[in-house]
Amino acid sequence: MKSRIREFDSSTLNESVRNTIMRDLKAVGKKFMHVLYPRKSNTLLRDWDLWGPLILCVTLALMLQRDSVDSEKDGGPQFAEVFVIVWFGAVTITLNSKLLGGNISFFQSLCVLGYCILPLTVAMLICRLVLLADPGPVNFMVRLFVVIVMFAWSIVASTAFLADSQPPNRRALAVYPVFLFYFVISWMILTFTPQ
Partner 1 sequence: VLQHNDDTEDVSLFDAEEETTNRPRKSKIRHPVASFFHLFFRVSAIVVYLLCELLSSSFITCMVTIILLLSCDFWAVKNVTGRLMVGLRWWNHIDEDGKSHWVFESRKESSQENKTVSEAESRIFWLGLIACPVLWVIFAFSALFSFRVKWLAVVIMGVVLQGANLYGYIRCKVGSRKNLTSMATSYFGKQFLRQNTGDDQTS
Q: Which residues bind partner 1 (CB under 8 A)?
A: 1-5, 8-9, 12-14, 17, 20, 24, 45-48, 51, 54, 58, 62, 65, 71, 74-77, 79-80, 83-84, 103-105, 107-108, 165
The CB-of-96 to partner 1 minimum distance in angstroms stands at 19
The CB-of-172 to partner 1 minimum distance in angstroms stands at 22
Q: What is the DSSP string of 58-89?
A: HHHHHHT----SSSTTSSHHHHHHHHHHHHHH
Closer residue to partner 1 in complex, CB, 20/41: 20
Closer residue to partner 1 in complex, CB, 65/139: 65
The CB-of-75 to partner 1 minimum distance in angstroms stands at 6
For residues 98-127, one letter each, b for 16 or more C-beta atoms within 10 angstroms of the residue's C-beta and e for the rest, the string is beeebebeeebbbbbbbbbbbbbbbbbebb
The CB-of-20 to partner 1 minimum distance in angstroms stands at 5
Closer residue to partner 1 in complex, CB, 104/175: 104
The CB-of-13 to partner 1 minimum distance in angstroms stands at 6
**Calpha distance 61→78 (Å, rounded):** 8
Which residue in 51, 170, 188 sits closest to 99, CA to CA? 170
The CB-of-108 to partner 1 minimum distance in angstroms stands at 7
What three-state secondary structure class fits 152?
helix
Closer residue to partner 1 in complex, CB, 14/193: 14
Closer residue to partner 1 in complex, CB, 47/125: 47
Q: What is the DSSP string of 102-159?
A: ----HHHHHHHHHHTTHHHHHHHHHHHHHTTS--SHHHHHHHHHHHHHHHHHHHHHHH
Closer residue to partner 1 in complex, CB, 46/193: 46
For the chain, what percentages of helix, strand and coil (3-state, to nearest 5) are there?
75, 0, 25
